[in-house]
Amino acid sequence: MIRKWVWLLALIGLLAACSEKEAPVEEPQEVEAEESADVVEDHVESVDEHAEGEEDGHGHAHAHGESFVVDSTKPLEDFSERYQEIARTLGDYELPEEGRLTLEEWGEKYGESRLVNPEDYIYYENGYTFAKATKDLNSITSLPPDHIQADPYGTQALGSFKTNIVTLAFGLQEEPEEDQVQEMSRMVADELGKLEPFLQEYEMIAEWTRETRGYFVEAADGGGHDVFHQGNENLQEMKGLILTINREHWE
């Protein structure tokens, strides 16, 4: 259990670094959300592998405490109408054309890409990198001396939403003990609060984010395990939706 929460704290720290000022260093600084949008892509390909060792035969992956369904084959039509409507946005957007850099231009500004297959990514002048296949956020790179990371613009916010939600949800597949609920709720609420301002153009996603954050804010204020569970159910369902959408991109 302790190891689980150390891991989640590390993930949230990485996500937080995507929007906070970093201490000056001489080189461009790259922040990845648990190895980035590759996390989303890797999970799409590896959830089944994970399930082979831990599922109970009914699509439930068990840890040491409560568990959430990790259904790696759930079709889009099995989601509620609300999530299907959100899928129309998350599955059918194009990343901005404005501000794109060639790989050579990226190298001139930020240094040579360290990605294994750099041609599989889209690079932006504001330091954001996205996977071409899924359009998910891979990383955010900032420049010295201040390393102030830029805000997402346009549909960059959707790619950022997908990666951050999946990262948070995978960290909460096992629910915390009662004495950990407030601390974890506060951190998740903070992360959702950072996303929310950039999602206002996408009404249903913004509404979902406000609702889900509200559960975690209430839990952080002492609302208890039940309200935390409601927020976590939302996170897990959105994670499942994103993985389903991404799987369709890969097929």
How far is residue 3's CA from residue 9's CA, in Å, rounded to a whole number? Answer: 10
Domain boundaries, the chain: 2-250
Q: CA–CA distance from 251 to each of 7, 21, 228, 244 (Å)?
A: 31, 39, 35, 11
Q: Which residues pair with 128 in a beta bridge?
A: 140
Q: What is the pTM of this model?
A: 0.76
pLDDT tens digit string along 40-90? 333 333 333 333 333 333 333 322 234 444 455 689 999 999 999 999 999
Read off the DSSP letter of residue 117: S
How far is residue 34's CA from residue 163's CA, in Å, rounded to a whole number? Answer: 9
| Contacts of residue 5, Cβ cutoff 8 Å, sequence gap at least 6 | 176, 180, 184
pLDDT tens digit string along 139-185? 999 888 888 889 999 999 999 999 999 999 998 877 788 788 999 99
